[in-house]
């Protein structure tokens, strides 16, 4: 039996970050040639800095107030950016296409009830029977709907309800690795002919005390709002969490051409892996991923989008690998401009790569010290190294 592989292309980009709302807001700034100004908040969560949610009219993509009310911001952002991607691909009002569209979502846990968490912590300082205390508070203080709001697969469910995307649905968990694996799975299914079109992506809200606490528990957060992402010695200055919603519409080339869709880029390959990082383990895995995706940079028209988290030593190792493997390619560190968005980090970098390839003009540097591109990129390499585990690399090519 002949093994027929299908080319995979990206036809829709839905992107929301602290920099703005929508594809055009990002494309205009990233390729405008002017110095980029990041948008951060270093006061509400001091001493930590976050890249906040921009002003959004949720009703543009979630018209029913009832739907908006039963979601938290994480879900609203995901549903909103998914709608942007469907709109951009020209599929939003195509009920038949949405009914047969597959969906793969990278998700974390829902937002917590901070007041109840605080109450439990305060009470536990006064009592030794903490197991009983926990059971008491969970049964008397939590509102029942909070359990539904925390379900990770509810984001996919709300996208199905609001946008009528009712093909197969998959939700992946696992922080940065979930975002990488979501796109890897969508690409593999389309390439193998198991799917013709797929909505894939994730969302993350940085303005959450619980997530800041989790990241600071591993001593990962930056505490100096004036520090650049990279020091002069190539080490990063810590994570600054970033709000992002990023969804893409992936299609087989045949499916996209049949409906005369605009194609941002061809997704040639995407691979994910995880394992031990000590003794050069991470670098060996990254080499294998780069080899497996055919990622190389021997020409000046390749650009690298790095999803480096900002953890000092880990990000320094990632940057050293990129500079060795892709010595001639301009590097764009998305965390410097957008912050680190965990599940949404890899989809966000993918969306930015699509916009860069489609624009046909050089991309403005994101961080101090990044090389100014002399020409437009015709190919892009996207990388993300999870702050604890998980690595991924993708290769994209501009369509003629």
pLDDT class of 289 with cuts at 50, 70, 90: very high
User: What rounded mean pLDDT belongs to the chain?
Assistant: 92
pLDDT of residue 1: 36
pLDDT: which is higher, 151 or 275:
275
Comparing 24-38, 105-119, 333-347, 372-386, the range with the smallest average pLDDT is 105-119
Most confident of 102-116, 136-150, 213-227, 264-278: 264-278
Residue range 349-368, pLDDT digits in tens: 999 999 999 998 999 999 98
Read off the pLDDT of each residue in 173-201 and give the average, rounded to a whole number: 97
**Spatial distance between the Cα atoms of 149 and 74, rounded to a whole number of angstroms:** 10
Q: DSSP per residue over 84-141, as a string?
A: HHHHHHT-TT-HHHHHT-EEEEE--PPPP-HHHHHHHHHHHTT-S-HHHHHHHHHHHT
User: For residues 197 and 249, is the Cβ–Cβ distance under 8 A?
Assistant: yes
**Residue 288 above 60 pLDDT?**
yes
DSSP letter at 330? P
User: For residues 275 and 392, is the Cβ–Cβ distance under 8 A?
Assistant: no
Residue range 306-317, pLDDT digits in tens: 999 999 999 999
List 249's β-bridge partners, or say none.
Answer: 12, 199
Q: Can you give the pTM of this predicted structure?
A: 0.92
At 289, is the secondary structure helix, strand, or coil?
Answer: helix
In the chain, what percentage of residues exceed pLDDT 90?
76
What domains lie within the chain, and their CATH numbers?
Answer: 8-112+150-397 (3.40.47.10), 116-143 (no CATH)
DSSP letter at 292? H
Strand spans (E) along the chain = 8-17, 20-21, 102-106, 169-172, 197-204, 244-252, 265-273, 302-306, 331-333, 379-385, 391-397
**Residue 144 above 80 pLDDT?**
no
Q: Tokens for 290?
A: 């780069």
47 preceded by cis ω (within 30°)? yes
Comparing 37-46, 125-134, 236-245, the range with the smallest average pLDDT is 125-134
User: For residues 72 and 10, is the Cβ–Cβ distance under 8 A?
Assistant: no
**Spatial distance between the Cα atoms of 333 and 131, rounded to a whole number of angstroms:** 44
**Residue 146 above 70 pLDDT?**
no
């Amino acid at each position: 039996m002949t093994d027929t592989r299908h080319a995979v292309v990206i036809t829709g980009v839905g992107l929301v970050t602290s920099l703005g709302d929508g594809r055009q807001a990002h494309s205009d700034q990233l390729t405008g040639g002017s110095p980029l100004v990041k948008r951060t908040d270093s006061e509400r969560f001091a001493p930590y800095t976050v890249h906040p949610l921009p002003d959004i009219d949720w009703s543009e993509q979630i018209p029913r107030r009832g739907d908006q009310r039963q979601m938290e911001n994480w879900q609203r952002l995901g549903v909103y950016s998914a709608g942007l991607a469907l709109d951009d691909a020209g599929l939003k009002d195509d009920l038949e296409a949405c009914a047969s569209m597959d969906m793969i979502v990278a998700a974390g846990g829902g937002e917590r009830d901070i007041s109840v968490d605080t109450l439990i912590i305060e009470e536990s300082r006064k009592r030794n029977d903490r197991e009983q205390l926990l059971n008491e508070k969970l049964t008397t203080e939590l509102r029942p709907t909070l359990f539904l709001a925390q379900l990770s697969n509810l984001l996919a469910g709300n996208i199905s309800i609001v946008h009528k995307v009712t093909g197969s649905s998959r939700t992946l968990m696992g922080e940065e690795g979930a975002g990488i694996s979501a796109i890897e799975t969508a690409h593999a299914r389309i390439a193998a002919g198991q799917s013709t079109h797929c909505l894939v992506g994730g969302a993350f809200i940085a303005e959450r005390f619980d997530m800041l606490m989790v990241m600071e528990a591993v001593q990962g957060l930056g505490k100096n709002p004036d520090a650049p992402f990279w020091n002069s010695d190539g080490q990063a200055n810590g994570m600054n969490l970033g709000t992002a919603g990023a969804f893409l519409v992936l299609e087989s080339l045949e499916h996209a051409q049949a409906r005369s869709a605009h194609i941002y880029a061809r997704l040639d390959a995407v691979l994910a892996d995880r394992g031990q990082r000590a003794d050069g383990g991470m670098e060996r895995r990254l080499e294998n991923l780069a080899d497996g995706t055919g990622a190389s940079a021997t020409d000046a028209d390749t650009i690298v989008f790095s999803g480096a988290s900002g953890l000092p030593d880990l990000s320094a190792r990632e940057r050293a690998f990129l500079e060795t493997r892709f010595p001639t390619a301009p590097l764009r560190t998305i965390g410097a401009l957008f912050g680190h968005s965990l599940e949404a980090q890899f989809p966000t970098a993918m969306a930015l790569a699509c916009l860069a390839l489609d624009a046909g003009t050089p991309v403005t540097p994101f961080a101090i010290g990044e090389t100014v591109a002399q020409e437009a990129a015709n190919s892009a390499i996207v990388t993300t190294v999870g702050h604890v585990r998980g690595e991924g690399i993708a290769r994209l090519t501009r369509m003629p």
